[in-house]
């Protein structure tokens, strides 16, 4: 027998960790009676003699005993140099593997072996580097550190005092400059020493400390003091900019209210929102925020869902309509039945997925990282050569030593390394605010390079709620035909299946008992109805099962010529009737396609529907159509389109999973449904089809910011390299160029947080 369990409920880390998957497979195969284990479609599938449910937790504990995941928040981690020191600390500890590190968010995810005390060793290493580390789930936030502010203020005060004294007593002023250098340089020297001990000798703190110390030794204490002061001010500005970047996501987290009005025997009682459970009933007052995902039970109102789905106009809600945590009730009181609360809400899932996406490095970021690893040592080698070679050929020792110190400061790659992750993080946060979820920097980059967008028809270009227009029985009454078709489609998730069930319920027809339901992707569905095999399928599939009478074929042709979708109902291998449906195009479909055309992106419709219906929809919307496609034919067509350039596939995230996976980018439509969030590379949290064009615009804006940042970082480095070697600028200008560039690239990236989605 086969048994299946959702991976997220079994071992969540196994969704993306190959080591977890391997260990879980081995542990499950060790259970009595388990013959085969495989992971597919977000689930663990077992072939076993009996249900292993009671022993499942035993196998999971075996995995967690030797391999577990945990996410931490590291306070003070806000630059690329800091991140490398933490990476180095993880690399040297056996049993620890650093999975994801996001310096802008200050988050790190680890996989470690609990039996080796590896986690404690990593925490001690991070604390020795001068950072505070805590579990990210603890909900606490360490107050911002103040020593840096005091150090900068003291350095600035001593420097100003020494400058004033220099007009009357230059000798005493020299001691003042030295004191200012010590006040600002001592904390830097300590962090440099920690970095060296952690195996990270080429960090920015080491370079600045060496430059300041060298300047004092050659009698340039004033310049040394200016260097440490400017560096301190730059670090404060970097910290502020990083905090702004984090606030883009933190603002989303703050949308869920802390408390909720729980209804008990009709009376509201205030409780913590995180304590709500499925099945609870909550009261949402006008002006209040929804504390959990659920369904409206009583009342009518309009909800502002813009923070979650990006929908700018309040959405009308009534009994049976879904509501999302974080939405604002704008009119009347609502009673809501809780479906998902706490970390299971759509908003919580979006936050989790965005944080994961921010930690995944984009291709450009990986390229810049590799470049910077060689850049700093090479510049340091160049600085040493500048110090040593010219004096050997008659140059002034002090002059060239000074220039070498300036080169040390130019060698810091902070601005370059932070240029890409800052832009990607801001772009992902901006998208999440507009209901555009992108799973990582690589996907965000690819979206801007798209040449073609392929759309599924049903539920994507159309409303996805086809209405039954015709019932044509052949050998039995109309009611019986509808009832038997509804029996075959019982429990169906396909739009046509739901339309049949909806019509049967409205007509009040008897639906006979059925069993053995089976879905045939792109063809139809089968089941045993009162013990007899029945099929509801496309005319193409029905023709493979039975000889269709000429009269039936003529009816099919007539209906399809009207832009309708026809399906044939068969009992055994005999046609017993014909059903027809019509699905209306989305209101915003034409505008969405117009925006894509304006962006230079080609649109094409891929559908399993008949060519006549597809042509009718395509003609109305003005795009190319490929019809009558089976799932494998869609895959082949996407492969062909990819030869012409990058391709995105847009579908509902459920019935189009293979096609979404085959495309360069799979975009799932869906009103924030869990399936849409989990299936594709990107998801539109509302059914705004114009969101596809917005995704491309966001990507291009992000790529533009990345290119500008890299040009700015490298351009400033190159300019000051030349001016330093020619003697036009000195130490303080070199450090100003470095810290200034870091602040500028971060500020440029933060502009993306204001992304509006308007077509320029």
Beta bridge partners of 684: 436
Q: How many alpha carbons fall within 13 Å on the CB side of residue 200?
A: 25
Look over the chain and give the mean of its residue pLDDT values, rounded to a whole number: 82
Q: b/e for 683-720, b at 16 or more Cβ within 10 A?
A: bbbbbbbbbbbbbbbbbebbbebbebbbebbbebbeeb
Q: Is the pLDDT of residue 651 over 50?
A: yes
- Closest Cα to residue 609, out of 672, 576, 649, 564? 564
Per-residue pLDDT tens digits for 669-692: 865 455 555 667 888 877 788 889
Of residues 537 and 61, more confidence is placed in 537
Beta bridge partners of 646: 450
Q: Is the pLDDT of residue 101 over 50?
A: yes
Per-residue pLDDT tens digits for 232-287: 877 777 667 666 656 656 666 677 788 899 998 888 889 998 888 899 999 999 88
Confidence bin at 222 (pLDDT 50/70/90): confident
Q: Is the torsion defined by CA of 247, 249, 250, 252 positive or negative? A: positive
Do 46 and 32 touch, CB atoms closer than 8 A? Answer: no
What is the percent of the chain with per-residue pLDDT over 70, rounded to a whole number? 87
Q: Where are the beta strands (DSSP E) in 623-716?
A: 624-626, 646-651, 665-668, 682-684
What is the arrangement of strands in the sheet containing 565-571, beginning at the earlier edge strand? 467-473, 574-582, 565-571, 532-537, 524-529, 514-520
What is the predicted pLDDT for the residue at 647? Answer: 94
Highest mean pLDDT among 139-153, 285-299, 729-743: 285-299
Q: Is the pLDDT of residue 141 over 70?
A: no
Q: Is the pLDDT of residue 491 over 80?
A: no
- Distance of alpha carbon 78 from alpha carbon 614, whole angstroms: 53
- Distance of alpha carbon 10 from alpha carbon 57, whole angstroms: 8
Do 224 and 409 touch, CB atoms closer than 8 A? Answer: no
Q: Is the pLDDT of residue 357 over 70?
A: no
What is the predicted pLDDT for the residue at 457? Answer: 82
Angle between helical axes of 221-253 and 414-433 (0-180°, round to 10):
20
Q: Across the chain, how many H-helices and E-strands are there?
A: 26, 29
- Closest Cα to residue 682, out of 631, 637, 639, 648? 648
Of residues 371 and 542, more confidence is placed in 542
What is the predicted pLDDT for the residue at 672? Answer: 47
Domains recognised in the chain with CATH numbers: 2-66 (3.30.70), 68-138 (3.30.70.100), 147-249+357-424+703-754 (no CATH), 259-342 (2.70.150.10), 437-462+587-685 (3.40.50.1000), 467-582 (3.40.1110.10)
Count of residues making up the chain: 760
Do 411 and 201 touch, CB atoms closer than 8 A? Answer: no
- Distance of alpha carbon 205 from alpha carbon 198, whole angstroms: 13
Catalytic residue among 456, 583, 652, 681: 456
Per-residue pLDDT tens digits for 372-399: 677 777 878 888 898 889 888 888 888 8
- Two tokens, residue 211: 């430059």
- Distance of alpha carbon 605 from alpha carbon 621, whole angstroms: 10
3-state secondary structure of 259: strand
Of residues 183 and 5, more confidence is placed in 183
What is the predicted pLDDT for the residue at 494? Answer: 80
Which range, of 82-91, 462-471, 527-536, 554-563, averages the lowest pLDDT? Answer: 82-91
What is the predicted pLDDT for the residue at 422? Answer: 80
What is the predicted pLDDT for the residue at 143? Answer: 44
- Closest Cα to residue 584, out of 616, 560, 555, 625? 616
The contacts of residue 39 (CB under 8 Å, 6+ apart) are 7, 14, 21, 24, 25, 45
Mean pLDDT, residues 651-670: 77
456 is catalytic: yes
């Amino acid at each position: 027998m086969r048994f299946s369990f959702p991976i997220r409920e079994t071992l969540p880390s196994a969704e993306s960790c190959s080591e977890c998957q391997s260990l879980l497979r081995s542990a499950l195969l060790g259970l009595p009676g388990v013959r085969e284990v495989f992971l597919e479609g977000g689930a663990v599938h077992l072939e076993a003699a009996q249900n292993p449910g009671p022993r499942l937790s035993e196998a999971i504990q075996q995995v967690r005993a030797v391999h577990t995941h945990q996410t931490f928040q590291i306070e003070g981690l806000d630059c690329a140099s800091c991140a490398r020191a933490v990476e180095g600390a993880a690399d040297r500890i056996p049993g620890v593997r650093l999975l994801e590190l996001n310096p802008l968010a200050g988050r790190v995810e680890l996989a470690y072996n609990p039996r080796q005390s590896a986690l404690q060793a990593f925490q001690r290493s991070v604390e020795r580097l001068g950072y505070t580390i805590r579990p990210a789930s603890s909900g606490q936030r360490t107050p911002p550190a103040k020593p840096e502010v005091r150090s900068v203020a003291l350095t600035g005060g001593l420097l100003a005092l020494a400058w004033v004294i220099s007009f009357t007593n230059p000798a005493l002023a020299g001691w003042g400059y030295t004191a200012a250098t010590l006040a600002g340089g001592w904390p830097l020297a300590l962090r440099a020493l920690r970095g060296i001990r952690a195996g990270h000798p080429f960090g920015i703190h080491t370079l600045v400390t060496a430059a300041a110390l060298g300047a004092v030794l050659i009698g340039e204490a004033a310049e040394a003091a200016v260097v440490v002061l400017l560096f301190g001010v730059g670090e404060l500005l970097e910290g502020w900019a990083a905090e702004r970047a984090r606030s883009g996501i933190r603002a989303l987290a703050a949308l869920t209210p802390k408390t909720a009005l729980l209804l008990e025997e009709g009376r509201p009682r205030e409780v913590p929102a995180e304590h709500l459970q499925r099945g609870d009933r909550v009261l949402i007052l006008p002006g209040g925020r929804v504390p959990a995902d659920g369904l409206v039970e009583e009342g009518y109102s309009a909800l502002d869902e813009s923070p979650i789905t990006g929908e700018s106009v309040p959405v009308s809600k009534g009994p049976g309509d879904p509501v999302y945590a974080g939405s604002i009730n704008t009119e009347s009181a609502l009673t809501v039945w809780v479906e998902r609360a706490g970390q299971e809400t759509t908003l919580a899932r979006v936050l989790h997925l965005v944080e994961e996406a921010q930690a995944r490095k984009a291709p450009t970021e990986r390229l810049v990282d590799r470049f910077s690893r060689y850049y700093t040592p090479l510049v340091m080698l160049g600085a040493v050569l500048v110090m040593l070679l010219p004096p050997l050929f008659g140059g002034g020792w002090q002059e060239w030593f000074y220039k070498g110190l300036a080169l040390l400061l130019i060698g810091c790659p902070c601005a370059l390394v932070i240029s890409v992750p800052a832009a990607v993080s801001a772009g992902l946060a901006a998208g999440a605010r507009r209901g555009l979820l992108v799973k990582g920097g690589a996907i965000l980059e690819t979206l801007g390079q798209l040449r073609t967008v392929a759309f599924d028809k049903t539920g994507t270009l159309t409303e996805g709620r086809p209405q039954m227009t015709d019932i044509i029985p052949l050998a039995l009454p109309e009611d019986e035909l509808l009832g038997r078709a509804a029996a075959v489609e019982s429990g169906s998730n396909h739009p046509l299946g739901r339309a049949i069930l909806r019509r049967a319920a409205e007509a009040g027809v008897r639906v006979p008992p059925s069993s053995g339901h089976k879905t045939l992707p792109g063809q139809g569905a089968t089941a045993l109805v009162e013990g007899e095999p029945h099929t509801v399928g496309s005319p193409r599939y029905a023709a493979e099962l039975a000889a269709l009478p000429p009269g039936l074929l003529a009816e099919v042709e007539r209906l399809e010529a009207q832009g309708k979708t026809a399906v044939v109902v068969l009992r055994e291998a005999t046609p017993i009737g014909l059903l027809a449906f019509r699905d209306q195009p989305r209101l915003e479909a034409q505008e969405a396609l117009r925006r894509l055309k304006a962006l230079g992106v080609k649109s094409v419709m891929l559908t399993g529907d008949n060519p006549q219906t597809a042509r009718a929809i395509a003609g109305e919307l003005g795009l190319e159509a490929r019809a009558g496609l089976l799932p494998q034919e869609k895959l082949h067509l996407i492969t062909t389109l990819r030869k012409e350039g990058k391709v995105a596939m847009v579908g509902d995230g459920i019935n189009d999973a293979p096609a979404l996976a085959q495309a360069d980018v799979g975009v799932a439509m869906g009103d924030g449904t869990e399936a849409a969030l989990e299936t594709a590379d990107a998801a539109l949290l509302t059914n705004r089809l114009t969101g596809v064009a917005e995704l491309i615009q966001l990507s291009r804006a992000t790529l533009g910011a990345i290119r500008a940042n890299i040009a700015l970082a490298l351009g400033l480095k190159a300019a000051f390299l030349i001016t330093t070697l020619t003697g036009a600028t000195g130490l303080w200008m070199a450090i100003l160029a470095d810290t200034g560039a870091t602040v500028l690239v971060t500020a440029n990236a933060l502009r993306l947080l204001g992304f509006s989605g308007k077509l320029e």
